[in-house]
């Protein structure tokens, strides 16, 4: 652990502002990194997992942003285009599969989805701010 240095101190207000500025793309990449860490930690990992072992040889996963699974692929099934939000892969290739999707995210292949998710995030943030302001204004001093 590094030795404490007062320069490490950051006002909490600034940390919260930085958190609010994270894009959906940043959140998706962070989610992928967390899944990698959880997979490597095995049963000792903490937090909600967005992957599960379907049998002894495969892992099923989704990449979630703001409680919404990204559409990872679009495939044609019996003349109908289907949006696939969950994928499976062999357990031994799971980390490589996550890296594959991270590379696609970095290459902006999902930019339309992220734009929509960023819009939803902005609407939710504005709604929460308004609700808090209304409660504060209605509260007697």
In a domain, 6, yes or no: no
Inter-CA distances, 76 with 71, 81, 84, 85, 101, Å? 14, 4, 10, 14, 20
Q: How many domains does the chain have?
A: 1
In a domain, 11, yes or no: no
In a domain, 7, yes or no: no
In a domain, 133, yes or no: yes
In a domain, 28, yes or no: yes
pLDDT at 14: 63
Written as tens digits, the pLDDT of the chain (141 aa) is: 567 777 767 777 665 555 557 889 999 999 999 999 999 888 667 777 889 888 879 999 999 987 889 999 999 988 899 999 999 999 999 999 999 999 999 999 999 999 998 888 888 888 888 998 898 888 776
DSSP 8-state symbol, 4 = P
Rg of the chain (C-alpha set): 20
Helix (H) or strand (E) holding 26: helix 24-41
- Could you tell me the residue range of the domain that residue 63 belongs to? 19-138
In a domain, 61, yes or no: yes
Biggest alpha carbon distance in the chain? Answer: 64
Q: pTM of the full predicted structure?
A: 0.72
Where do the DSSP E strands lie in the chain? Answer: 51-53, 58-61, 64-65, 68-69, 73-77, 80-84, 87-90
In a domain, 55, yes or no: yes
Pick from 63, 67, 50, 72: which is nearest to 124 by CA? 67
In a domain, 10, yes or no: no
């Amino acid at each position: 652990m590094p030795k404490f240095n007062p320069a490490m101190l950051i006002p909490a207000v600034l940390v919260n502002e930085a958190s609010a500025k994270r894009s959906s793309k940043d959140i998706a990449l962070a989610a992928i990194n967390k899944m990698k860490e959880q997979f490597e930690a095995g049963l000792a990992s903490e937090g909600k997992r967005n992957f599960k072992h379907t049998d002894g040889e495969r892992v099923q996963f989704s990449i979630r942003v703001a409680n919404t699974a990204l559409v990872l692929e679009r495939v044609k099934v019996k003349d109908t285009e289907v949006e696939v939000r969950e994928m499976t892969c062999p357990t031994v290739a799971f980390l490589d599969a996550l890296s594959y999707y991270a590379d696609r995210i970095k290459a902006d292949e999902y930019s339309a989805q992220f734009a929509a998710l960023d819009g939803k995030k902005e609407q939710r943030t504005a709604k929460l701010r308004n609700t808090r302001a209304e409660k504060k204004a209605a509260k007697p001093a």
